[in-house]
Chains A and B, each alone.
Chain A
Amino acid sequence: MVGTKVREQADTRQDVLVAPPSEVAAARSTGGEDFDALESIISVRGLDFFYGKEQALFDNHLEIKKNRVTAIIGPSGCGKSTHIRTYNRIYELYRDHKATGEVMFDGHNILAPGTDLLETRRRIGMIFQKPSPFPMTVFDNVAYGLRQHYKLNRSELSDRVEDALKRSALWDEVKRKLGEPGIALSGGQQQRLCIARCIATEPDVVLMDEPASAIDPVATAKIEELMESLKANYTIVIVTHNMQQAARVSDNTAFFYEGHIVEFGPTTQIFSNPQEKQTEDYITGRFS
């Protein structure tokens, strides 16, 4: 079953490579799809978040559309990262962080008690701002989640690792370095290693928390290309403070300001015809 998925993936990637980015953007802007009719994979309703007594998110409502790239933009400290960190409840690592409301995923509220966090986190993976390879070899980094979640024999495991590295556009650069420590790779390679590690376990959603802010422009371009090819099989949510990046890679955009979602809609609409004054001011650079 996974084999087919990979083949489909390869086809899609070719399509993407054939079509110049401008045409892809044009196809999007003509409004080829009905935004409201698209299937949501995650539905956020009435989400509030607290750092101790301080409230950081206020009544967030958001629909993450399946197999689309959703960008979350807004000024520093507006709650972008805080928002997506509720999708996998990673905030629970910290004692006084608390979220209330609903994050519906597959018919179940992730925030409710009784959520199988291990399976939820397998299905909703996360890439962090700072590349964070584990202190082990390149191979073991990618195999880490696979070993945790699946029964695989040795050859299945190495096939999976190779496949994940290929889909992360990293294979050619590391195929002779699989036994070297992950930390020995360059920053951009480390980030793609983290993406490979994440998609190896076949998640449904990939959360990216400013994935390109700690790496150079060339590596950033590679990661943006990668997102385009990944979205055939995955739903991507990317937090970014870089508006050009949001415009380039995303289908839908949510604009956050001081913990509120000011505006949410197709990226073309948000960037060319924003409905809210605050959104317009932000994307035109009138305030920061």
Chain B
Amino acid sequence: MSASAPASGHSLRADGGAPALAALRPRSHARRKAVDLLIKISAWAAAWFGIAVMLLIVWEVVRRGIGAIDLAFFTELPPVVGEEGGGLGNAILGTLVITTVAALIALPVGFLGGVWLAEFGRNGRIATGVRMVANVNMGIPSIVVGVFVFAALVKPLQHYSGFAGSIALAFIMLPVMARTTEDILNLVPNELRESGLAMGVPRWRVTLGVVIRAARSGLITGAVLATVRVAGETAPLLLTALSSPYWLDGLFGPEGFFGGPTANLTKTVYDFSGVPYERMQELAWGGALLIIVAVLGLNVLMRLIFQRGKEW
């Protein structure tokens, strides 16, 4: 039983043996092009809206803060109320110390935790639990972390301290570092792990010498970005490091890192931006500018250094 070839030029079957298919009816091109254009414009507009907001903020901060940046800004104490001059030297130093100590506490622990999650715990029950806790911790509002450290450290010791601020920041960094490390190690292909193990090398040495090595640029970037992120935090310091008009001095004295409130950039910006004295407001803008420049600068620097990204 042979049917004649279908009349439609669009039919896919012309072998004559099979039943003829209905002809394909092309959809309207005009409509598809219109939808395509609409989506392109929406995406473009949304992207530029976000960028424009950021540029506006940066522009305003630069415009208002640039005047405050001079040598004294980095080296001198803030002026007393109503006076001119001075700088944010103590706050800059405090932020550096508080953030560095936080990084020293959180980065190694977070890194090892991430290595464990990616290489050893993996999909086990414990790892799933740990991963969930880390994800939840990343979502906790930072003021809550501040309150927690206040209750756990500041209240029992009866005084604020830079160290309490470091603990609060470390608490925020820890899950970020762990999850970042895990994600980056998961990008290392399994072939590399198998190749290492197939050489008769123990698992821990393959992890250290091959897997982590393959991911090193990503890991360094992750660590720096985690640090930079918390360097700009204010809320956790409100109830922990507080602020101080003095230089950080020693460890356990009333102006020491462990002994008393410690000046820091974010809290100082917060305080100075709310007072009716022009010089202090100017310093606040300067502080904000310094934070933004540092965060943006380190982000860009990391991307420039590790532009090649994958090295395996």
Contact = CB atoms under 8 A, between A and B. Distances in A.
B307 interface: no
B306 to A, nearest CB: 14
B190 A134 contact: no
B213 interface: yes
A37 to B, nearest CB: 31
Interface string B201-235: 11001000110011010000000000000000000
Interface of B: 122-124, 189-202, 205, 209-210, 213-214, 216, 311-312
Contacts of B193: 93
Nearest to B194: A90
B191 A128 contact: yes
A125 interface: yes
Given A134-B210, A183-B312, A95 B198 contact: no
Given A90-B194, A130-B191, A183-B312, A136 B213 contact: yes
Interface in A172-204: 181, 183, 194, 197-198, 201
B122 A95 contact: yes
B291 to A, nearest CB: 35
Contact of B200 (A119, A136, A181): A119
B213 A118 contact: no
Would you call the interface of chain A mostly helix, strand, loop, or mixed? helix
B200 A122 contact: yes
7 contacts: A93-B197, A118-B200, A121-B200, A132-B189, A134-B214, A135-B213, A181-B311
B200 A201 contact: yes
A136 B311 CA distance: 10
Contacts, number: 74
B200 A93 contact: no
A134 B205 contact: no
B199 A183 contact: no
B196 A93 contact: no
Given A95-B123, A121-B199, A145-B200, 18 more contacts: A90-B194, A90-B197, A93-B190, A117-B200, A118-B201, A119-B200, A125-B199, A126-B195, A128-B198, A130-B191, A132-B195, A135-B213, A135-B216, A145-B201, A148-B201, A149-B200, A194-B195, A198-B198
B200 A183 contact: no
Nearest to B191: A132
